[in-house]
A and B are shown apart, each in its own frame.
Chain A
Amino acid sequence: MHFVQNFPFFSILLALVCAVITLVLSRENARRLTLGLIAGELVLTLGTLIHCLRENSSYAYWMGHFPAPWGNEIRAGVFELVPLTVFLCVILLSFLGGWNQSEEMLERGKSNLICVIWDLCMLSLIALVYTNDLFTAYVFIEINTLAATGIVTMKQDGFSLVGGVRYMIMNLLGSSLFLLGIVILYAVTGHLLMVPLHEKISQLVAEGTYRVPLLMVMSIMSVGVAMKSALFPFEKWLPGAYTSTTSSGAAMLSSIVSKGYIFLLIKLYVRVFGLEAVESLGVCDVLFIFGAAGMVMGSISAIRVRTTRMMLAYSSVAQIGYIYFALGMGSEIGVVCAVWHAMTHSLTKSMLFISTEELEKSCGNDRSKAALRGGFYRSPVAAVAFMLGAANLVGVPLLGTFVTKILMAGTAIQVGGRHAMIALALIAVSTILNLVYLMNAAISLFIPGEDRELRPANAVTTGSLICWIMLNLGLGLMSSGIIGMLWNGLRVFA
């Protein structure tokens, strides 16, 4: 075995150990350790990605030198590593972007706990991406929920505590449904590992037996993950959670926490059930409908709200709708499109939340949409970042979401029939709705207001915003190469 193949295991172990050590460190040391950890995780992931690209394969890794269920199994391949690299970049930039923001809003002496939460969130994301075992996935889903609750309640005021409770109730309901699905699946197949599960399920589908229990399991697990990732109509907890925390916390929730669950659902569909089984049992049609509803309803809600953060929160509902809509097409290119959009939305939405915080600060912490007016003159880097993020989500050519829309439209035409017409119409309607609220906000940044004085910006936050801008442009410009990698990765993923 090549030494690099140990890196995924080291990533999980390192995050676990650092989370424990961070508990007893001072504020500054905790921050340094967490920053070092994120950078280290990024290096380990990049190392594994380069190895997998060179070998053009994926591999399973036994933790504990025993095969599952006595030991544990993780799996690494290009399809897991490309999104994970992007997610880790977002975690790094969100941590740097919120370097000073969290400090102002936290109880004295508790700053190191935020670093612990950050470590645990990253740990659970990495484990969810790598795991090859369903019960391990459940355990890390719960760790993710607990860490995310810590993020939501970071400020410890009434609004954030209530937001935390709502978040937990919906998410724990989702976790319970997911666990119930796992248990029924174990009762039917006798396996928890993804590969033997897939073999058994394929056999059952071919024989036509256990059709109802399999459909039930698939539905229960999909609803569970949909609740956790805020798919419409399960998004009620999302606005409170995103707006009650700091901007770096909101960046983490929208870009990392929800994407981890979505990636797990993709693993379930592709590696456990198989796309053909998902399609034949009719689950894709349900995803298609709810995704479409999310795309439209999320955008309508975003138009109606008064604060910029709330607008961004509801915009996430619309973008999550896009991901489920792509999955609902029930084809391999739909899966690639879903992962691509998860990556591009993760990178964009985190940038939007951090730039919004900077813009709000430049006009005396006014959170209303109207306060964005003239933002470019007070905080130019944040305004450019916001403009780019808005343009990306609308689907301006050369940026990530444009590629998503082109892929989705292409897939719809390829699938043909009713789906094609509905999909094309929905993409058009959703783009117009995005244009109404996002470009309206972005343009107002460049309209001079009464206050045009340049505000001093934090150097670390400004630097991270510049990195975000470059990464967003880079992702859009290199889209064909990255999508090619995902496509090839999916071949060995299934």
Chain B
Amino acid sequence: MLEKLLANYEETAAIILFSIGFTTLLLNRNLIKKIIGMDMMDSAIFLFLASQGFIEGKEPPILAEGITGAGAYVNPIPAGLVLTGIVVSVSVSAVMMALAMRLYHRYRTLDVDELIAIAGKEEV
């Protein structure tokens, strides 16, 4: 079991990172920590995806003289997907941060439970 985990160390690291992010998101009441947890989860998935494209002993996918076959390169598709994913993840984090800032300016707290209680009273 341990051997398998060590052999696939990128995937193992991704799972550990995902679990930390998931726990941070669920258990922390602070909004900023929740956002950090979410970013960790996304980063863990990107690490997992990027590791799928790596092939031991292959070249980066840049055309060079003397190499003509696709078999000489690592798989470039996961890297492309990770780039797209990062753009999406950054946009989402930016919107979350903007919401957190707005809420902090209004209520001077980032505790989600407190925010829900205060806003609920306001609505009533």
Contact = CB atoms under 8 A, between A and B. Distances in A.
Interface of A: 69, 135, 138-139, 142, 145-146, 149, 153, 156-159, 161-166, 168-169, 172-173, 175-176, 179-180, 183, 186-187, 192, 244
A183 B52 contact: yes
B13 interface: no
A161 B106 contact: yes
B49 interface: yes
17 contacts: A135-B81, A146-B92, A159-B120, A159-B122, A159-B123, A165-B31, A165-B99, A165-B112, A166-B112, A168-B99, A169-B34, A169-B38, A176-B38, A176-B41, A179-B42, A179-B45, A179-B85
A163 B122 CA distance: 13
Nearest to B48: A183
B45 A176 contact: yes
Interface string B87-124: 01001100110011011001100001001101110110
Given A162-B119, A165-B100, A176-B41, A139 B84 contact: yes
A186 B11 CA distance: 14
Contacts of B34: 169
A367 to B, nearest CB: 10
B77 interface: yes
B41 A164 contact: no
Contacts of B102: 156, 161
B25 interface: yes
B118 A158 contact: yes
B18 interface: yes
Given A173-B38, A179-B85, 4 more contacts: A169-B25, A172-B38, A176-B41, A183-B52
A171 to B, nearest CB: 9
A165 B45 CA distance: 23
A145 B45 contact: no
A187 B106 contact: no
Contacts of A180: 18, 45, 48
Interface string B9-31: 00000000010000001000001
A146 B87 CA distance: 13
B78 to A, nearest CB: 8
Contact of B119 (A149, A159, A172): A159
B103 A161 contact: yes
Interface in B46-94: 48-49, 52, 77-78, 80-81, 84-85, 88, 91-92
A166 B52 CA distance: 33
Nearest to A180: B45
Interface size class of B (residues with CB under 8 A): 35 or more
A192 B96 CA distance: 29
Given A158-B119, A161-B106, A135 B84 contact: yes
Nearest to A165: B99
A445 B96 CA distance: 41
Given A176-B41, A176-B42, A183-B45, A162 B115 contact: yes
A172 B84 CA distance: 16
A173 B100 CA distance: 17
B6 to A, nearest CB: 18
Contacts of A168: 92, 95-96, 99
A395 to B, nearest CB: 32
B99 A146 contact: no
Nearest to A183: B49
A466 B86 CA distance: 45
Nearest to B107: A158
B103 A173 contact: no
Nearest to A175: B92
Contacts of B119: 158-159, 161-163
Contacts of B99: 149, 153, 161, 164-165, 168
B96 A142 contact: no
A159 B31 CA distance: 16
B103 A165 contact: yes
Among A69, A145, A176, A187, residue most surrounded by chain B Cβ atoms (within 10 Å): A176
Contacts of B52: 183, 186-187
A158 B91 contact: no
B106 A158 contact: yes
Contacts of A146: 91-92, 95
Given A165-B31, A168-B99, A173 B49 contact: no
A249 B114 CA distance: 26
Contacts of B91: 142, 146
Given A166-B116, A172-B38, A187-B52, A142 B88 contact: yes
A244 B119 CA distance: 11
B37 to A, nearest CB: 10
B67 to A, nearest CB: 19
A139 B88 contact: yes
Contacts of B92: 142, 145-146, 168, 172, 175
B19 to A, nearest CB: 12
B82 to A, nearest CB: 10
B61 to A, nearest CB: 12
A217 B94 CA distance: 29
Nearest to B50: A183
Among B81, B103, B118, B122, residue most surrounded by chain A Cβ atoms (within 10 Å): B81
Contacts of A175: 92
Contacts of A156: 102
